[in-house]
Structure 1
Amino acid sequence: MIITPKLAALAVVMREKRVLLVKRRNEPDAGLWGFPGGHVDLGETALAAAARELREETGVVGLPAQYLTNVDVIVHDGGGDVRFHFLLTAVLCTYVSSEPVAADDVSEAGWVSVSDVLQRQIPCSEHVDDVLRVAQLSNR
């Protein structure tokens, strides 16, 4: 099987001192908390993909405001071969409406204290805290 890099978008939504996170159901990162997100479809911008994935995974409506950063996720198997390769584009989204309900490929969704994420009080995917710090700086 040939593995090629895939582009995905993350929706970073903050309200007061909380951030919207989802618990992943599928690999990579099954069982870990992270930002709602997923694949960017052909012809779709990462901004539009972030808003779409946010709605599909949580029911929350958000408006994409700006690009925050990119994160490389490269996962190797036990033999050193690449199993997954994603370029994740983090997009700051402005909360519009609805409360989160887990859907699509997530098992849980909810508002989590920013301090709990930054202090690693919940099991998160790699770089969630880094992206959240960038979002805090952009959201001031």
Structure 2
Amino acid sequence: MTAQPRIGALAVVIHEGQVLLAQRGKDPGRGLWGFPGGHVEWGETVRDAALRELHEETAIEARAQRYLTHFDLIHRDDAGQAVVHYLLVGVLCRYQAGAPQAGDDAMDARWFPIDHVREGTVPLIDRVSELMEIALSAS
């Protein structure tokens, strides 16, 4: 069987000057903060996957609004061979209800002031700040 990239959905939720992030419980990025998200299941839209993963990882309810952007996440071994390859799709979601509670493979989930993320005081997964800024300009 040929290895193929997987599709991942990221739920980007910004509410009242804060951004919702989940702390990863698995590699890649264990212990770092990023947008809740995960694999798109067979027959599931990226928007639906983003909302499902958002609820599973944070207990937050939201409504998907629009696609923001996409980017490749590729990790290579020492020989330069790809060992992880995802096409990640950011979905802007509008907060509806709930308080963050870590679930599924998240170690923690919480709201962070946007300024803290911009100042670099939160240990982030690659491209989180970039995706946050895209979401802010789209809201």
Give, in whole Å, the separation in 1 of the partners of 2:9 and 2:118: 21
Q: Which residue does the alignment assign to 1:30?
A: 30
SS at match of 2:84: strand
1:13-52 deviations in Å (ceiling 9; x for gaps): 0111100000001111111100000000111110111001
Q: Which residue does the alignment assign to 2:115?
A: 115
Q: 1:12 touches 1:135 (CA, 8 Å); kept in 2?
A: yes
Give, in whole Å, the separation in 2 of the partners of 1:7 and 1:99: 27
Please list every run of 5 or more consecutive structure 1 residues that lacks an aligned counterpart in the other structure.
none
**TM-score, structure 1 length as denominator?**
0.95
Please list every run of 5 or more consecutive structure 2 residues that lacks an aligned counterpart in the other structure.
none
The aligned amino acid for 2:10 is L
Deviation of the 1:118 alpha carbon: 1.7
**TM-score, structure 2 length as denominator?**
0.96
Q: Which residue does the alignment assign to 1:95?
A: 95
How many matched pairs? 139
Deviation of the 1:54 alpha carbon: 0.3
The aligned amino acid for 1:113 is P
> RMSD of aligned C-alpha atoms?
1.2
SS at match of 1:49: helix
Identity %: 42
The aligned amino acid for 1:19 is V
Deviation of the 1:83 alpha carbon: 1.4
Q: 1:74 touches 1:85 (CA, 8 Å); kept in 2?
A: yes
SS at match of 2:112: strand
Q: 1:71 touches 1:127 (CA, 8 Å); kept in 2?
A: no
1:76-118 deviations in Å (ceiling 9; x for gaps): 1222111110111000000000101000001010001111112
Deviation of the 1:2 alpha carbon: 5.5
SS at match of 1:62: strand
Residue 66 (str. 1) matches residue 66 (str. 2): yes
Give, in whole Å, the separation in 1 of the partners of 2:123 and 2:77: 21
Q: Which residue does the alignment assign to 2:124?
A: 124
Give, in whole Å, the separation in 1 of the partners of 2:98 and 2:54: 11
Give, in whole Å, the separation in 1 of the partners of 2:4 and 2:21: 27
The aligned amino acid for 2:134 is V
Q: 1:22 touches 1:35 (CA, 8 Å); kept in 2?
A: yes
